[in-house]
Amino acid sequence: MNGRRVPPWAVGAAGTAAVLALWWIGAATFLRGIGAPPGGGPGAIPTPWQVLSQMGADGAGFYWRNAAVTLAEAGAGYAWGNALALILAFVVLLLPGLERLATQLAVITYCLPVVAVGPVIFIVLGPPRSGESSGTAVALAALSVFFTTMVSALAGLKAADRACLDIVTVFGGRRIHQLVKVRLIAALPAVLAALKIAAPAALLGAILGEYVGGVDRGLGPAMVNAQQTLEVARVWGVAFACALLAGAAYAVLGLVSRIAAPWASGVRAGSL
């Protein structure tokens, strides 16, 4: 049977629709009373319609006011974490003796429990000044992306074709010439894939950092405030907004990857 291949976006849309349907059915039936207070009231799992209604009542200004702070923190952490990871990967290629130390450093940053290390970072950096982003949120966002980018970039740089590297050496090139003329191009798909995965990770790190970062605005504080006032639908609405932002960041970086390295995904440049 010669059937057409289902596009990835269709599979994703079908999966999302199935999850929403299961969520709606469960929230309206057997999950309805979970988390409800003894005296009656809304349960801990609202229906998607209740969440969307609450988001509409809160308005776009509420979400943009808080999302702008979180996105600024996530963006700063994303830039710092990825920049340091790429620089370290390049240094390891030029100085192979540092590879073990660099790998151990990356593993340590990955194994650090973000929730536990957050208060320590807050004590070191201190509370933010009025109108400034939380340094703790930026630091946790950077930690969240460092390992993935560093390991992927190093693996991509080391996967360069041996024959191409030998040609550069024959013509008098050194390690720096191999890095610029061969390894960077070979590592581009792996680096772009790591940057794509790092985008949602940076957002998650920033949100976790806001819990201890001493900021009054942001998606993290908005979720905490809604939880403390038992506004269940708003908690889910903020979580839904976080998911949309993470998905949008992943999609944008995915599009950039397809344009910058079409050969890695099997897409022709003229078809974009």
CA 203/CA 116 separation, integer angstroms: 18
Selection from 204, 197, 97 nearest residue 153 by Cα? 197
DSSP state of 149: H
Selection from 108, 114, 123, 113 nearest residue 141 by Cα? 114
DSSP state of 229: T
* Per-residue pLDDT tens listing for the chain (272 residues): 455 777 777 777 888 888 888 888 877 776 666 655 555 555 678 888 888 898 898 888 899 999 999 999 999 999 999 999 999 988 888 888 888 898 888 888 888 888 888 888 888 887 777 656 788 889 999 999 999 999 998 888 887 777 777 777 777 777 777 777 777 788 888 889 899 999 999 999 999 888 887 778 889 888 988 888 888 889 999 999 999 999 999 989 888 888 877 766 654 444 44
Q: Which residue has the tokens 């003229």?
A: 270
CA 121/CA 263 separation, integer angstroms: 41
Work out the number of other CB atoms within 10 angstroms of the CB of residue 184: 17
